[in-house]
Structure 1
Amino acid sequence: MGLLPTKRDELHQSPQGGRPGRWQRYGAGYAVWYLRAVAVINLLGAVWASFGQSVRRHNVNELYTPYLLTAGFTSTLFAIFLAVTMRRGKRAAWILNLLLNGLFVVALALAMTFPEIREHRQNWVSLVLSAAFLLALLAGRKAFRAKGGRSNPVLALGVAVCGTAVCVLIGTFLVSVTNTGYGSTLGDRVAYTGLRVVTLASGDTSSAAITTPDWVNVVINVMSAFLFLLVLYAAFRAPGGRELLGPQDESRLRELLAQHGGRDSLGYFALRRDKSVIWSPTGKAAIAYRVVGGVTLASGDPIGDPEAWPGAIEPWLAEARMHGWTPAVMGASEEGGTIYARHGLDALEIGDEAIVETAEFTLEGRAMRTVRQAYNRVRRAGYTVRIRRHEDIPEQEMAELLERADRWRGCETERGFSMALGRLGDAADGRCVMVECHDADGDAADGAPRALLSFVPWGETGLSLDLMRRDRDSDNGLIEFMVIELLQRAGEIGVEQISLNFAMFRSVFERGSRLGAGPVLRLWRSLLTFFSRWWQIESLYRANAKYRPIWEPRYVLFRTSSELPRIGLAAARAEGFLEAPSLPALLRRRHRSPAPVAAPAGSR
């Protein structure tokens, strides 16, 4: 694993990108750390019985505790949620804290006019801490400018109403089937349940008409707490990205790729139509990205003139601050990662891209003996390969290829984001290359189709692998046979270099198997080998290594290491490895792509 040199930004920076004042930074930082401390204390109050009882006694008697200090798991989650949203600079979270804490400070200050209240030192401590938190909020107000989605209030209201109805319905059912009291009506049971859903009332109260087991009240309270946090999430969730890639943006991106597309093998994938694009002021550079789970996820290097890259990176980061998004880049090259690092992002090497120079490739030599034997075995079996540009394939044949590609796909979920185009057979992608493999048993002159590969252009003389599909009933080794045929016949289509699969953690497998590898490296390699049973991490490396490629490192860019888990989840969702649960149809935000996608494609 490797790190690029970085330049760290300040912890808090205004969405407009200017450097905040000292008192503004101190105020914002104090507010966030105050909420974190409150979360820890509330958690201790929930797991430490005597401490929790002391806090609750202060809350119900003549004593007062600081804002949010209520001792419990729900209040812990609430404080953590507020701390996270405040850390992301959410304006809505700042307003909520200001209102709640302001009301608490005013109420406590008025209560201090009574002698029986102000005679307790704890109340003075509470007043000082809460007032300091209020002053910190006011001092750091300019640091909290991140905007939420416009539909958030309506969505939060819908979640609250629908969720409350569901909780009351389920709770009423549980109360009805477990009630051991007599004389209660349906209205009584609904009111009993509704009180606990709305107020999080404890389960130690009952009536002669309604007597339920303690676990029923616990279940109702848990549902209520979950609903409360879900409403908060809906109210504070980050907005989606700007409009998806439209015809005008796509045309401008193609112009940049025509001039600078040879710099990055992933450049053509910026034309995915589920991405948004942000431009430099001069229009000479652009960043294609997608917002997933509050992460603005870019892939590869910026498109265009490297001298204009900072002009695109700065507005992209400013937009992230404005909306409270977490900026991240997947698969940047060393050149791109260095430029991103100058703007405050850290870089971590996550793997290597396999690039084969067609003029240097050969099957001769002892090192290629196994590959040569496998290639000859498939060739003797009668398989043949056809190589064509997409624009040279008749419409009817392309339709048949699309049908086979869908049928041969191994899973229902379409995978790919940073290294997949997401469509196949689109008329705008005529310069893409199709590699088809046929056997010798079909009725057609070329035999029956058994596998296909599709490559996107990489500048004028390069190709980058987009998708691989093969008939599950065909012989093993077809993909390797097709790749070797393409490498040997690349001159037919004017190709000099080909980018193959991306191998994650390639250096770990290579160095971890060498003599003298340290215990940490060997342990890391063992873990990756174990997970390769499901995610094919090692097999991708082995599949690439047989072509003896040039390994080009690729990096993930991020602000702080604490954001890596969130970035990893967002990347997994974008690539199709994870699927987030969808909201009901009436509450789901709909995006329309400005141009239809002809057919889905697979991942590299």
Structure 2
Amino acid sequence: MPFLRWILRHPFTVVCSAVVIVLSIVGFASSTYDWGWQVLATGQDDVFRHHRWWGLITAFLAVDGGGALIFVVPFIVVVVGAAERLMGSWRTAIAYVGGSAASGLIGFGLSWVESTYLGFLPLNAPSIEALSPATGVICAAMAASSFASALWRRRIRLGASFIAVTLFLYSGGAGDFYSLVAVPVGLVLGFALGGSRSKFRLIRSSHHEIRTLLAAVVALGSIGPVVAALIGSGSGLLSIYGFLAVDVDHPRTALIGLLPVAVGVVAAWGILRGRRAALWLAVCIQVMMSAVMLGVFVVIQPETMTAIAEQANEEVDPYIWQTLTGSALCAILPLASAALLILLRKHVDVRPSRASAKRFLVITLSALAGTALISFVGVLAISDQFRPVPTVLDILRALPLRLIPHTFVISDGLAFVPTTHWAHKVWSLPAGLFWAAVLTASCLLILGRTAAVDDDDRVRARAILERGGGHTLSFMSTWPGNSFWFDEVSDAAVAYRVQGFVAVAVGGPFGPAFADPRVVERFVRFCGDHGWTPTFYGVDDATIETFEGLHWQRLKVAEEAVLRPRDWNPTGKKWQDIRTAVNKAGRAGVVAKWTSWRELSLLQRSQIQAISEAWVAEKNLPEMGFTLGGLDELVDSSVRLMLAVDAEGTIVAVTSWLPLYGTDDAVKPHVIGYTLDFMRRRTDAANGTMEFVIAAAVEQAKSDGLEILSLSGAPLANAAPESSTLDVRGSVVAQILDYVGRSLEPAYGFRSLLNFKKKFQPEFLPLWLLYPDTTDLPAVGAAIGRCYLPRLSVVQLSGLLRDLRPKPTPEARREPAA
């Protein structure tokens, strides 16, 4: 049984969960301090003054409420169970128990320093009583991260740190403080227990992963105040949100404060989907939050803080200092989040269409005007229900504050306040109407069907593409980042990207009239009218005649490996590697699955995402784009996936295949072949897995009667260098490309990829770069480089140039003899 098997594989997790349940129930059912042996000794006084040393362990093996127990036990099962799977039972036990005790000792010491020397600025609740199993869980997770892959190592550490920091800032209980201490303690324990001592370097993230992290930051900043409000009486630096977000006298109108939170969550979702508009919306929300909290810091009076402290049963003087410090920090952190979003905005590059942006502005500005009008007229109509009675000028000055939920507006800075029930309704209603409108506009902007720029052009280009005609790279024209030129005379289009003053076309024209030379001539004229230098990248021999009338220069930039599925017959000695890979996969229970992204389950999608992110994390340079697709390009319903799935249902390798459409008269799009794009596998996958996956794809294409299967091109690599020796020697440019290809081999492995494709005995066809004149080549080369690496930073560029420098040989390193 799977459940019994899981129990046998995770003995410490089972024992730990059982102990937490038993000790917690004992604590609920009886007063432990009536016993001779006080099991749940939970504070520093118990441990040090009364010498109840076991409290360093038992305090982290129980909770103080039934609701907490319902949450903590699944938390232990999931996190500690995963840690036990990564590093074994005895290491997990040491990390949990030993890490909890160490965190408790360090936490007690820091709490004593805080209470002795920093009494005026309490950062968390005093550690008189604290039950915190989360401390042990975080210790175990951080220790286990040292046994994980590079990608999951970062994810675990960031996730644990996020949870610990959030609880410490928004709640600030003693247990939350121990959880924060557990982060470095668990990290050190992971190293001590034999985990990886990886170099402290920035682990490379794909665009998808960076968007995920940015979305998490925005969502956390939006939901954090709600957490503080639910806790209500926390002692963290940011727990002031808990008091500002609650209105005891008017609990229903206090719910208006959830509307900006909802807008922030929508913005986080949009960032995850790559929407640039969502990023700027999140920046605006963060700046607004900073301004509001800065206002709290400036206008709040000691009398108000005293009243809040008395309501929360806190000491007045320390609470005043904490409130002021918390207000300042609440003003600084949103600005830091906004700066981070702006700094990494290049990874969120799907821009809104004009129609969606215009609609957002119209709704928002209309709501702004309507809010101002309702607020002005409403307050003026019942001005006698405010104290003091406001003048027209007072009402006008207070209009900007009506955009802020009333719980976040401190009365100390107001010229007048409501005194009746109806006055309070008029006071709080405008903010609710405004943020409801902003929420609606945000959903339409970010989640709407026409949210992306050039959606109409993209739909039109897709229709032309599916009518057939083009080349094996044509489907890449549908990817984000491309602009489109449509021929007004014939049924053809060109996808291109402008970098500087160079327009780089993705291959040649596509559509039924793709082979008409006049299409190319009209596109070149279009580029000239805009002051761009046109160039065509990735043109194959089949369509090279279309460009002969231009009398341009050409340069081979890649070798495309092409298979004919109808002739596929992997027999003979030269196919030995392929047959061995297929047989090995069969013996291991690995099967091939031909599917699409939409047909995958959520678990399968997460497995593919993990494979992709782990692959990117190991690279020293950023992920390429342009004609090299990533995770985002898999979601297209026309893209097919060939997966390798092991006997346990885990995806161990994935490839994606882009369709090539024929030019017949069929009503539906007619696929005549596919082009290999995305190709990645798990780091622990067996050798030969990728050979098995591609062989399965060829068999699938053969059974479907397809004409062609392209294994795509290998940039800066030559399939037959010996045959082109004269060309290389006779061309300075070719020599430079050959040198760049050899230099980039350790980072991207283009030549290794070419050698891998040779195993399938394909036909190698050259792909050409066509450009007007040799003098244009430097600008063209720089433009193509920016197309592939549009997000290359200065630091990464310096690293790339360093990699391009010739490496000294061992003989050159030797010092001359004396």
TM-score by length of 1: 0.49
Higher relative contact order (CA 8 A, sep 6+): 1
Q: Which has the higher helix share?
A: 2
